Chains A and B, each alone.
Chain A
Amino acid sequence: MRNFLQVMVDAIALGSLLALVALAIGLVFGVMRLINFAQGDYITIGAYALVVPAASLTPTLLIGALPIPLMVAGVLLVVVMLALATERVAFRPLRDSDPATLLISSFAVSYFLQHMIMLVHTGRPKSIGIGQALTTPIEVLGLRVPGIQVVTMGVTAVLLIALVLFLKRTPMGIQMRAAAENFQMARLLGVPANRVIAMAFVISGLLGGTVSLLLIVQTGTLDIRMGLMPVIFAFFATVIGGMGSLVGAALGGFLVGVSSVLLQSYLPEGLRPFRDAFVFGLVIVILLVRPKGLIVIGAARERV
């Protein structure tokens, strides 16, 4: 039982992380019909912002050398500015294009950002010691849980609540939900398209920067592909959650994270290397049963 609970803590922690990435993808998809694969590179660049841009394999801390509140604010600011810049330069000019064009544009942005990092930092991973105190396990209800997992779950809970309050209680949040459901109608009612889309990118930047920090404390390694797997998993999470539904994105994130850890723990030893194949298989099964995802927007029957 204790072992199962231990596994569940790991599962929920990973699910929380993926939920944050999935929410970022879901928010931008909602207002723009853009599946932004560059979200992974926002995460990577947020992590690299902690160190001085240089080719050295033993990096000197930059933002990472600041006191924690300033370090957090610094990383978030870098990622938000980056997200806004990509929106302005790469995505806004293509806003009226079809989703396939936007998707290809996001691949282009992603490759561009990856190669920019490679140019400055080289492609080799770098070790970095940030928040190491958080990796030591703490005792919670008889379970030994690494502090970073507690922080990940806590931060996710706070961000989810803040996001819900923002979307439900503020005029901008209500406009964003309206625009996410029917962008054209929202514009007809005067919802400012530029501002709503920029706000979606600001939030995706905030979520991306948060994931940068959580990941770097967990892994202690800077890698140009560190954002790739979270984004791929989070993309599946948004698809099975129901594209366009934020609740679905968060739910999908938890589901993918939890099933990934459970499979890792309970699959027979020989099958564990194929864990991801099982997770993706699960995604296929869910989509076969519910092709539009778990939560379907606008599915209410047309009534007379």
Chain B
Amino acid sequence: MLDISELTVRYGKLTALDQVDIRVAGGEAVFVVGPNGAGKSTLLKTISGLLRPASGGIGFEGSDIAGVAPEKLCQRGLALVPEGRHIFRTLTVEENLLVGMMIRRDKAAAKQDLERILQTFPILRDRFRGVAGNLSGGEQQQLAIARALLQRPRLLMIDEPSLGLAPLVIDQVYASLKDLNAAGLTLLVVEQSTARVLDLATRVYVLRSGKVVLSDSAEALATGNAMEEAYFGYAGRESA
């Protein structure tokens, strides 16, 4: 579904991503983990069209999308929940969700999706007419995910879903993501913390200083410390 090859992104002279290769197959839940400054957010921003790569390719369902404007990409089935959630604080919950639905041409189906999503995230129904800025952090994360889901994406990218949330709330967010993945939605999740990655991931990439230092299936990483070692830079290995 998503095929990133030899992707290099620079901020001026600083190389944020260096020849990165990442593949996501349909139905997978792929995690990219790494310490601060590894290039994780840069990766998602580049895929979603907010940054232009210096070189390399980003293939999505067979077509090259490198440098395509973000408003065009979401129509092709890519959705991003960025770091910090970025809900529209002055808009109501309803209006936030409406903005998410605006690219949908099938308005009747979009309304049904809204109903279904409000069942998945009942707190949003309770706060439907309230201003989104008054939601708690966990509720805002749910709103950001719900808003992205209303676009009916085929690939949902989430930047640090657990950032700044209480442990109990992180459990809820991960449970929601697990359900969505089980229902067939492909996920590409970026996390700084490795704590809960293996609960959900089917495949993990470890990114350090803009380079992929480890990629393996979650199954293979479940035993041993390979992920932690790669994360902290004790060792580096590449495997399929």
Q: Which residues of A come within 8 Å of B, CB atoms?
A: 171, 174-175, 177-178, 181-182, 184-193, 297-298, 300, 302-304
Interface residues of B in 163-211 (CB under 8 A from A): 164-166, 169
14 A-B pairs with CB atoms under 8 Å apart are A171-B98, A184-B50, A185-B86, A188-B74, A188-B80, A188-B82, A189-B74, A189-B103, A189-B147, A191-B99, A192-B71, A297-B90, A302-B164, A303-B135
Contacts of B46 in A (CB 8 A): none
Question: Does B69 interact with chain A (Cβ within 8 Å)?
Answer: yes
Pairs of residues from A and B, 3 with the lowest C-beta to C-beta distance, nearest first:
A190-B103, A300-B133, A304-B137
Minimum distance in angstroms from B171 CB to a CB of chain A: 14
CB neighbours (8 Å) of B138 from chain A are 304
- Do B89 and A298 have beta carbons less than 8 Å apart? yes
Residue of A nearest to B94 (CB): A174
Q: Which residue of B lies closest to A190 (CB)?
A: B103
Interface flags for B74-118 (1: CB within 8 Å of A; 0: not) read: 110001101000101111000110111011000000000000000
Decide yes or no: A191 and B164 within 8 Å by CB, A184-B50, A304-B169 being known contacts. no
B48 close to chain A: CB less than 8 A? yes
Give bound CA distance, A302 to B91, whole Å: 16
Selected from B89, B135, B151, B165, the residue in CB contact (under 8 A) with A181 is B89
Cβ contact within 8 Å between A174 and B89: no
Q: From residue B188, how far is it (CB to closest CB) to chain A in Å? A: 15
Nearest Cβ on chain B to A301's Cβ, whole angstroms: 9
Most buried by B among A178, A186, A190: A190
CA distance A254 to B95 in the complex (A): 28
B71 contacts across to A, CB distance below 8 A: 187-188, 190-193
Chain B residues contacting A177 (CB-CB under 8 Å) are 88, 90-91, 95
Are B48 and A188 interface neighbours, CB within 8 A? yes
From known contacts A182-B86, A188-B80, A189-B102, infer whether A303 and B151 are also in contact, taking CB-CB under 8 Å: no
Given A174-B99, A192-B71, check contact A185 B88 (CB 8 Å): yes
- Whether A303 touches B75, Cβ cut-off 8 Å, given contacts A174-B98, A177-B91, A188-B50, is no
Contact A298 B133 (CB under 8 A): yes
Q: Smallest distance from the beta carbon of A244 to chain B beta carbons, Å?
A: 9
Measured CB to CB, the closest approach of chain A to B172, in angstroms, equals 13
Type the 1/0 row for B44-55, where 1 means its CB is closer than 8 Å to any CB of A.
Answer: 000010100000
B223 within 8 A of A: no
Cα–Cα distance between A278 and B46 once the two chains are bound (Å)? 50
CB of B239 within 8 Å of the partner chain:
no
- Chain A residues whose CB sits within 8 angstroms of the CB of B100 once the complex forms: 189
Asked whether A304 lies within 8 Å of B102 as measured between CB atoms, the reply is no
Write out the residue numbers on chain B whose beta carbons fall within 8 Å of the beta carbon of A298. Answer: 89-90, 133
Q: Which residue of B lies closest to A180 (CB)?
A: B90
Kindly list chain A residues whose C-beta atoms are within 8 Å of the C-beta of B90.
177, 181, 297-298
Among A182, A298, A304, residue most surrounded by chain B Cβ atoms (within 10 Å):
A304
B98: chain A residues within 8 A (beta carbon): 171, 174
Query: Which residue on chain B has the smallest CB distance to residue A301?
Result: B133
How many angstroms from the CA of A303 to the CA of B140 in the assembled complex?
A: 9
Contact of B137 among A188, A192, A303 (CB under 8 A): A303
